Amino acid sequence: MNKYLWRGLLAIGLGMAGIYWGIQLMEQEEGWYKLALTLGVILFGVGFITLMYRLFRSIDRSTLLEKRKTRQKEK
């Protein structure tokens, strides 16, 4: 597992925890729930984007390796 996968999963986990905490605060009618929900959504979004970046990097890497292999076979 590479660093982008770990960072993405960590950010998604923290985002989910922030959203859960914000919902709990909202039920208790605390004023901090808006900040907690906002941070949770932002962290979740960053985690999702990081995971998508990891997916695109792995696809790009496999394509590059395949092209190199075909070039070496042609020579």
Contacts of 67 (CB under 8 A, 6+ apart): none
Nearest of 6, 2, 1 to residue 47 by alpha carbon: 6
- The conformation of residue 30, written as its DSSP 8-state character, comes to -
pLDDT at position 55, please? Answer: 87
Beta-carbon count within 10 A of 64 CB: 10
Per-residue pLDDT of the chain (75 residues; tens, 9 = 90+): 788 889 999 999 999 999 999 999 999 988 889 999 999 999 999 999 999 999 888 888 888 888 888 888 876
**Chain-centroid distance, C-alpha 33:** 23
Nearest to 46 by CA among 8, 2, 1: 8
| Predicted local distance difference test score (pLDDT) of residue 41 | 97
